[in-house]
Amino acid sequence: MAALIYAEIAASDSFRRIFLSKFFINLNKSLQIVAKDLFIAIIIVFLIINFIGQFLQVKGQSMEPTLREGNFILINKLYYRFNEPQVDDIISFSTQSMSGHIVKRIIAVEGDTIEYFSGTLYVNGLPINDPDIHFARKRGDIDYPFIVPEGYFFTLGDNLNNSIDSRYEQIGLVEKKQINGKIIMY
């Protein structure tokens, strides 16, 4: 009888060892699959954020009323690989003097002349703001008339009196290589 009980205990210990070893082998394989899938997902997200598009949340009031603080926007990072920036495009760009993404509207391209008279900004002689509605109190710290040099873009915030933009040396002109992408969803 004792031999029978011993044989049953030995068999159950052997069964437990086999079961546990198979369980841990399967668990290890499952964790490897999950880790591999997670790694692939992280690589895909990294590639999308750095090369295709990126969601951002608007901070500040410089682009009101078009973009309001707290709005989410999508930057198309591929757009300017195939197209040239145009007047009226809303872009995201980076500068050395400010951290993060800066969002502004292109109002002038190379060769355009910017002037400021009595609260109105002009591009090539045409007013860009109605002084009765959007009087531009701040002319910035550049000298007018200002001609946009080759390879550069002049940007403004839609909220002229609450925007640091190309009128100020802190931001200045934007080179194409500084542009992160075109804002396509707002």
Contact yes or no for 132/139 (Cβ under 8 A)? no
* Mean pLDDT for the chain overall: 84
What per-residue confidence (pLDDT) applies to 129?
72
What per-residue confidence (pLDDT) applies to 139?
78
Contact yes or no for 184/145 (Cβ under 8 A)? no
Mean pLDDT, residues 14-28 taken together = 69
- Which of 90, 144, 151, 86 has the alpha carbon at shortest distance from 113? 144
What per-residue confidence (pLDDT) applies to 13?
63
Reading the block at residue 15, the tokens are: 């069964």
Q: CA 66 to CA 60: how far, in whole Å?
A: 12
pLDDT single digits (tens) 71-117 = 999 999 999 999 999 999 999 999 988 888 999 999 999 999 999 98
For residue 5, give the 3-state DSSP assignment: helix
User: Which region, left, alpha or beta, applies to residue 88 given φ > 0 means left and ψ of -120 to 50 means alpha?
Assistant: left
The residue among 21 and 90 whose pLDDT is bigger is 90
pLDDT single digits (tens) 156-171 = 999 888 899 999 999 9
What per-residue confidence (pLDDT) applies to 42?
87
The residue among 186 and 4 whose pLDDT is bigger is 186
- Cα three-residue angle 138-173-109, rounded to 5 degrees: 100
pLDDT single digits (tens) 50-73 = 778 888 899 999 999 899 999 999
Active site residues: 62, 104
Q: CA 122 to CA 113: how far, in whole Å?
A: 8
Residue 3 confidence (pLDDT) above 50: no
What per-residue confidence (pLDDT) applies to 86?
96
Q: pTM higher than 0.85 for the full model?
A: no
Which residues contact residue 182 at a Cβ distance below 8 angstroms, ignoring those fewer than 6 apart? 75, 76, 79, 80, 85, 89, 90, 91, 92
Q: CA 114 to CA 147: how far, in whole Å?
A: 6
Fold entry, domain 58-185: Umud Fragment, subunit A (2.10.109)
